[in-house]
Amino acid sequence: MATMHDVARLARVSVSTVSYVLTGARPISQATRDKVLAAMTELGYQPNAMARGLASRRSRIIGLLMPMDERGLGATETAFVTGAAAAASAAGYHLVLSPVCDLDDLRRLASQRMLDGAVLMEVQVEDARVTALQEAGVPLVLIGRTGDTTGLSYVDIDFDQTVREAVDHLVGLGHRRIVYVNHSAAAIATGYGPAVRTRDAFVTAMTGHGLEPVMIPAQDSAAGGRAALAAALTEAPDLSAVLVMNENAIFGILGELTNRGLVVPHDVSVVSMVTSPQVAELANPALTAMTSPGSALGRIAVEALLRQVEGAESADHQQLLPCALEVRGSTSPAAREAVVIGGDHIDQTGSGPPGM
């Protein structure tokens, strides 16, 4: 493996000159710089990122701060991480995934100056982590949004457009009784951004079509999905479509539909929101989904952060990306024949039991 001494020898310059070319600590003539860079290319020299960071008073490490529980990372969440990691690597930085969420731990991490900047995920509408990092002077970009985004850089999913397009797809297929299965009641109560924004967007989209919005919260688990589907059928026994934004609950929902003798999509259509293609293809039939732009959001967030770190951008970067509708096998036109749900004879057109 080539070293700085090898580069210096081939370029016929001092080792310190090679170091200055790498770090920019001192001005170097363009001719000398070109010789050093040509020698690096010829030798296949890869600079040590940490050594460059020490010389430039940067760690060349950025943190991806994401609270995690026993569920770990799903396929959709992983796309955010891989997009961020690829962007950091391309710029010569290391990305460190940190689950720290305790404010005292976060302040200690910030005070150690180990990170050149941070990307914050799982953002709450009111998020004390943002204030803690700002007070510590850590450059920051959010994947998500707080309620007040003044002075903040963020990238996020355009939940209004995403929910509207999902509802439009189902309404266009003739569905009138649509239930939305969200994240847990606790997530909504604590102001988890995606849960709050999709709740509000669903109400707007349904009322815009003159339809009643019915939302059911669900724990992030298969058992939570089964319980949510049971609750949905109790509240709306004539439902013909389920819109879900809870990747950990979706397979419980599908299982409970099967247990009740309901066929997807003949009896009940299902749309999964903010979902990766990998997850959508695991179901049978494959899920019609609003596909998450996770990889793009991770990449854009890191690129925006590095522009801050390197002083190349002073204005706040604020950008929304919608999910993309990908129609698979879990949606179809609303059924016209009656089906039996929980022992009651229900007309899928929403007109109620025969004779009513």
Q: CA nearest 209: which of 173, 183, 245?
A: 173
For residue 148 the two structure tokens come to 């007040």
What pLDDT is recorded for position 108?
85
Phi, psi of 332 (to 5 degrees): -160, 170
Residue 304, Cβ density class (10 Å: 0-12 exposed, 13-18 middle, ≥19 buried): buried
Distance CA(346)–CA(96), nearest Å, equals 53
Contact criterion met (CB below 8 Å) for 237 and 344: yes
Which CATH architecture is the domain 4-55 placed in? Orthogonal Bundle (1.10)
What pLDDT, on a 0 to 100 scale, did the predictor assign at position 110? 81
- b/e map 52-75, b = 16+ CB within 10 Å: bbeeeebbbbbbbbbeeeeeeeeb
Residue numbers of the chain with a pLDDT score lower than 70: 23-25, 47-58, 69-72, 313-314, 336-356
Per-residue HEC secondary structure of 289-352 comes to EEECCHHHHHHHHHHHHHHHHCCCCCCCCEEEECCEEECCCCCCCCCCCEEEECCEEEECCCCC
Structure token digits, residue 252: 């419980």
- Where does 159-292+326-347 sit in CATH, by number? 3.40.50.2300
Residue found by looking up tokens 């700002």 in the block:
134
What was the pLDDT predicted at 339?
Answer: 43
The superfamily (CATH) of domain 61-157+294-322 is Response regulator (3.40.50.2300)
- Residue 200 confidence (pLDDT): 98
Position 52 scores a pLDDT of 53
Question: What was the pLDDT predicted at 127?
Answer: 93
Amino acid identity at 99: P
If 0-12 CB within 10 Å is exposed, 13-18 middle and 19+ buried, where does residue 120 land? buried
pLDDT at 28: 83
Domain ranges (residues) in the chain: 4-55, 61-157+294-322, 159-292+326-347
Q: Which of 302, 322, 323 is nearest to 313 (CA)?
A: 302
First to last CA, the chain: 82
Can you give the pLDDT at residue 288?
98
Q: Tell me whether the CATH fold assigned to 4-55 matches the one assigned to 61-157+294-322.
A: no
In this structure, which amino acid lies at residue 28?
A: I
pTM assigned to the model: 0.78
At what angle are helices 128-135 and 103-111 packed, to 10 degrees? Answer: 20
Tell me, what's the pLDDT at 208?
A: 97
Residue 116 in contact with residue 334, Cβ under 8 Å? Answer: no
Q: How far apart are CA 17 and CA 6, in angstroms?
A: 13
Per-residue model confidence (pLDDT) at position 100: 77
Torsion of CA 302, 305, 310, 316, to 10 degrees: 140
Selection from 155, 103, 191 nearest residue 316 by Cα: 155
User: Which pLDDT belongs to residue 240?
Assistant: 97
